[in-house]
Structure 1
Amino acid sequence: MSSTLHLKKNLYDTCFQFIENRLLTVQKTINEIQESLTSETKSSAGDKHETGRAMLQLEREKAGNQLSEIVKVKEALSKISVEKTSPTIGLGSVVYTTKANYYIAISAGELTVDKENFYAISPNTPIGKLLFGKGVGDAVLFRDLTFEVKKVV
C-alpha cells in the first residue's frame, strides 16, 4: 500500500471512529432518556410528574435530532473513496498548505495521523468552500490570512 493511500485510509478510519463514538454517545443518551420516561410513568402523578415528562420528551427530541445529524454525516463520509486522487481539491482530498493540513471529509476537528496534524473539515465549512476546486499553487484568503496550497493527494 502506498504511503498516500495509507495516509488517506488512516484519516478516513479516524473520521469513521469519531462518528461511531458520537453515535454511541447519542444512542446511550436516548436509551437513558427512554428508561427515565418509563420510570417516570411508574412514579408520582401531578404537575411535577407532567413537567418531568415534558422535559424528558424535549431531551429525547434533541437527542433524536443529533442522531439524525450523525446519520447524515456518516452518509457523507461513506461517499469518500480513499483510492481516488485528483489534482483539484474535492471530497476526500488531503491538502497541505503553507498554514495547515486539511482532510476534506467531515468536521471532526484536529487529527494526528502518522505523526502529522490535519484538520478534518467538511466541504461546507467556510475554509472547505474556499479550498474546494483549488489546486497546487493556488492561494486562498481566509480571515485576512493568505496561504498557498502546496500539495493535494
Structure 2
Amino acid sequence: MSIKNEILIHCKQVLTEKVHSFKDKLNELVSDAENDSKSSAGDKHETARAMMQLEQEKLISQFNEADRQLEILSSINPDEEVKFVRTGALVETNKGIIFLSIPLGRIKVKNADIMVISAIAPLAKAMMNAKKKETVSFNGTDYLIKNIS
C-alpha cells in the first residue's frame, strides 16, 4: 500500500471519528431539549432552549463541514499519476511532505510527518500547478519540489 493511500485512510478515520462525535453530541442535545421542554417554563427555560438551539446549529455546521471534507478525500484517487501540484497531490519538498486535500494539520504516517492542508491554503495556492524540481517561494521561504505523487 502506498504512503498516499495510507494518508488518505488515516485522514478518513480522523474525520469519521469527528462525524460520530458530532452525531453523539447532537443526539445528546436533542434528548436534553426534549427532557427540558417537559420541565420548567419561563425566561430561564427560554434562555436554555435558545442556547441549546445555538449549540445544535454549531454542531450541524461542523458535521456538514466534516462530511464535505470526507467527500473531498473520497474524490482523490491515490493511484492516479500526478505530474503537477493540485488537490490530491502528495508533495515532497526540501521542507517536508505536504498533502493537499483538507485542513487537518500535521499527522504521522509510516514514521513520516505529513502536513495535511487545504488546497485553498495560502501555501497550497503558491504551489498550485508547480512541477517536480521547481522552486516555489512562500513567505520568504523557498520550497524545492522533490517529488509529486
TM-score scaled to structure 2, two decimals? 0.94
Counterparts of residues 3-152 of structure 1 (less than 5 Å): 6-152=2-148
Alpha-carbon separation, structure 2, partners of 1:86 and 1:45: 61
Alpha-carbon separation, structure 2, partners of 1:113 and 1:11: 6
Aligned residues: 149
Alpha-carbon separation, structure 1, partners of 2:70 and 2:111: 25
Where do 4+ consecutive residues of structure 1 move more than 2 Å? none
Alpha-carbon separation, structure 2, partners of 1:104 and 1:28: 29
Q: 131-140 or 52-61: which moved more?
A: 131-140
Q: Which amino acid aligns with 1:128?
A: A
Q: Is the CA contact 1:85–1:93 (under 8 Å) kept in the aligned structure 2?
A: no
Q: Is the CA contact 1:88–1:152 (under 8 Å) kept in the aligned structure 2?
A: yes
Please state how far the C-alpha of 1:129 moved relative to its aligned partner: 1.2
Q: Which amino acid aligns with 2:3?
A: L
Q: Is the CA contact 1:22–1:70 (under 8 Å) kept in the aligned structure 2?
A: yes
Please state how far the C-alpha of 1:91 moved relative to its aligned partner: 2.1
Identity of paired residues, percent? Answer: 29
Q: Which amino acid aligns with 1:144?
A: G
Q: 32-41 or 141-150: which moved more?
A: 141-150
Where do 5+ consecutive residues of structure 2 fail to align? Answer: none
Please state how far the C-alpha of 1:75 moved relative to its aligned partner: 1.2
